[in-house]
Structure 1
């Protein structure tokens, strides 16, 4: 995630007591004592692959 897009809640416990970790882009939750990072994958629905008939 970019610096402009910050999580509002911890994905594990749902609390808002988050702190950014150095320059790694990771976050630390003080309530459940977990570290996590988020990755933006894109906008829109994923493309489905068509099966090859046999």
Structure 2
């Protein structure tokens, strides 16, 4: 991982997502270079954040 920092903090991501924390975390992960998507988990019966990390 590089020594670069993000220009936004988590509160800014949440504000930009209209208060949706899951959506804010999705964007944060994407800005960090990970593949992220919000998917519905039938077993949990709610949306979850799926993060894909390549090795």
Question: TM-score, normalised to structure 2's length?
Answer: 0.23
More helix by share: 2
